């Protein structure tokens, strides 16, 4: 029997991107689903796919614009009216908005974004968490971002909303530590979904290094199931970004993030830059910004940064040894897989073994 059989997961933002991949994982694990978004036609199609592919028993579709006042209360009331117990809540729905805050971005869109990313997520958590605590059982996954821990010029309000989500979630982790209810923050780096198009940021440098939403959802799902307080998907590179965000001066991080969020160069300039590699360029920029900031700080701040850098060194060595462990595990798994495949006699058996 699958681990989710008989249980229900409610996922906001299930119609696309990371939310849709998360919904698929719950369906594969035998969960019944409550899917929330504005595109109910897409959710209906997903419901059919989950029922036929994974034998999902019950899928409830709630068409809702979560940027509207008290939308979360309405979702909760609809769930209660159907006598559904929500075992897992995933607050995935969210949008971004690109541009200079003072002159480019539209206040009505910003207000709706704050409502969706912050108010709806908080109210959903408040309503469903209360019931989970009464049962002393339940899990919540909140979509934060790597931008939660770095100032992000040109996405200033969006990054502010994600900083809220991360801080809020970590506070709840502490408040819930003596219960069987867990809350997890998922902090993806830029991910290959419709997010950047919708935010008007489709031409920014950061879109050249997007990661796979399937991998992001899987890392989030595993961390949620394990009851971890947070997860940064994407291995060593993204975990290094996380560590650097904690120890680098905020002005330096803002400069790095501004570069990543700036428009891509014109094609001819771009080709001459490609050899450098985006990741390397960002690393050089970060190093430069760090040196400039270091030289301009007081002796007291320098001592503080030296202390933090020592911590960074320790963290990096942990990260490197964990990466080595991962490589060894991956090699062992691949070796075992190849041995199993080699032992098969017919093409059908080989295919079955590869897909297993
Ligand atoms: N992609 C990234 O680079 C990235 C990185 C870090 C964190 N995140 C976070 O991950 C989450 C999912 O984003 P994604 O990348 O998967 O983007 P996406 O593909 O655009 O998905 C966004 C989801 O949110 C739903 N949504 C948007 N506005 C809504 C509203 N007003 N009411 C109800 N639902 C709404 C959308 O459904 P409808 O349009 O059908 O309503 C859709 O299902 C967001 O919270 C985002 O901030 C994304």
292 in a structural domain: yes
Q: Indicate whether residue 51 lines ligand 1 (CB < 6 A).
A: no
C-alpha 318 – ligand 1 centre gap (Å): 33
The domain total for the chain is 2
Confirm whether 349 is domain-assigned: no
197 and 213 assigned to the same domain: yes
Residue 216 shares a structural domain with residue 69? yes
So what's the pLDDT on residue 273? 52
Is residue 58 located within the same domain as residue 160? yes
- 138 shares its domain with 225: yes
Nearest 5°: the CA angle 292, 296, 297 is 120
Domain match, 207 and 134 both = yes
Locate the ligand 1 atom nearest the alpha carbon of residue 66 and give its number: 32
Domain membership of residue 312 (yes or no) is: yes
- Amino acid 2: pLDDT: 78
Distance CA 183, CA 169 (A): 7
Check if 90 has its Cβ closer than 6 Å to any atom of ligand 1: no
E strand map for 197-243: 230-231
Distance in Å, CA 13 to ligand 1 centroid: 6
Ligand 1 pocket member 159 (CB < 6 A): no
The structure tokens listed for 272 are 């001459």
Instruction: Mark 162-186 as b/e (b = at least 16 C-beta within 10 Å).
Output: bbbbbebbbebbeebeeeebbbbbb
Q: Which residues pair with 180 in a beta bridge?
A: none
Question: 260 C-alpha vs ligand 1 centroid, how far in Å?
Answer: 21
User: Which tokens is 164 given?
Assistant: 């809220």
Of all protein residues, the one whose alpha carbon is nearest to atom 25 of ligand 1 is: 13
- In the sheet where 88-91 sits, what is the strand order? 59-63, 32-37, 8-12, 88-91, 138-143, 181-186, 230-231
Domain CATH for 53: 3.40.50.720
The CB of 232 under 6 Å from ligand 1? The reply is no
Q: Is the CB of 304 under 6 A from ligand 1?
A: no
Domain identity same for 43 and 137 = yes
Select which of 31, 76, 98, 158 is catalytic. Answer: 158
Which residue among 209, 234, 259 closes a domain? Answer: 234
SS3 191: strand
2 lies in some domain: no
Containing structural domain, residue 192: 8-234
Residue/partner pairs of 313-321 with CB below 8 Å, 24 or more apart: 315/243, 316/240, 316/243, 319/236, 319/239, 319/240, 319/243, 320/236
Gap from CA of 17 to ligand 1 centroid (Å) = 7
Q: What is the 3-state secondary structure (H, E, C) of 60-75?
A: EEEECCCCCCCHHHHH
In the residue annotation, 221 being an active-site residue is answered as no
Closest ligand 1 atom to Cα of 147:
6
- Identify whether residues 180 and 301 lie together within a single domain: no
Same domain, 54 and 157: yes
Cβ–ligand 1 contact at 238 (below 6 Å): no
- The answer on 244 and 298 residing in a single domain is yes
Are residues 257 and 206 part of one domain? no
Q: Are residues 161 and 122 in the same domain?
A: yes
Do residues 230 and 263 both lie within one domain?
Answer: no
Whether the CB-CB separation of 201 and 95 falls below 8 Å is answered with: no
Domain boundary (234, 266, 296) is at: 234
At which of 193, 208, 234 does a domain end?
234
**CA 341–ligand 1 middle distance (angstroms):** 39
- pLDDT, tens digit only, all 356 positions of the chain: 578 889 999 999 999 999 999 999 999 999 999 999 999 999 999 999 999 999 999 999 999 999 999 999 999 999 999 999 999 999 999 999 999 999 999 999 999 999 999 999 999 999 999 999 999 999 999 999 999 999 999 999 999 999 999 999 999 999 999 999 999 999 999 999 999 999 999 999 999 999 999 999 999 999 999 999 999 999 999 999 999 999 999 999 999 999 999 999 877 655 545 434 444 444 545 554 555 455 556 555 555 555 455 545 444 444 444 444 443 443 344 344 434 434 444 434 433 443 44
């Amino acid at each position: 029997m699958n681990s989710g059989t008989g249980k229900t997961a409610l996922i906001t933002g299930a119609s696309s991107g990371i939310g849709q991949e998360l919904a698929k994982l719950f369906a594969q694990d035998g969960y019944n689903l409550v899917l929330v978004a504005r595109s109910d036609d897409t959710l209906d199609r997903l419901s059919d796919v989950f029922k036929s592919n994974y034998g999902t028993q019950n899928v409830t579709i709630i068409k809702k614009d979560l940027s509207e006042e008290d939308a979360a209360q309405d979702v909760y009331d609809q769930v209660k009216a159907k006598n559904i117990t929500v075992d897992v809540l995933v607050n995935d729905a969210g949008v971004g908005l690109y541009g200079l805050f003072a002159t480019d971005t539209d206040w009505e869109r910003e207000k709706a974004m704050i409502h969706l990313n912050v108010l709806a997520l908080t109210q959903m958590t408040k309503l469903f968490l209360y019931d989970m605590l009464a049962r002393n059982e339940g899990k919540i996954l909140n979509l934060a971002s790597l931008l939660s821990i770095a100032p992000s010029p040109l996405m200033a309000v969006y990054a502010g909303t994600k900083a809220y989500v991360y801080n809020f979630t970590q506070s709840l982790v502490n408040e819930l530590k003596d219960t069987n209810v867990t809350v997890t923050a998922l902090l993806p780096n830029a991910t290959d979904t419709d997010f950047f198009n919708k935010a008007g940021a489709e031409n920014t440098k950061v879109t050249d290094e997007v990661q796979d939403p399937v991998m992001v959802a899987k890392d989030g799902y595993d961390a949620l199931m394990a009851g971890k307080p947070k997860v940064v998907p994407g291995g060593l590179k993204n975990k290094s970004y996380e560590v650097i965000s904690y120890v680098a001066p905020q002005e330096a991080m803002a400069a790095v993030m501004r570069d990543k969020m700036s428009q891509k160069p014109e094609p001819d300039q771009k080709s001459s830059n490609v050899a450098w590699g985006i990741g390397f360029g960002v690393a050089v920029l970060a190093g430069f910004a760090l040196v400039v900031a270091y030289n301009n700080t007081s002796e007291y701040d320098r001592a503080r940064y030296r202390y933090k850098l020592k911590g960074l060194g320790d963290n990096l060595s942990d990260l490197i040894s964990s990466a080595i462990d991962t490589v060894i595990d991956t090699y062992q798994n691949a070796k075992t897989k190849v041995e199993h495949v080699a032992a098969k006699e017919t093409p059908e058996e080989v295919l079955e073994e590869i897909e297993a």
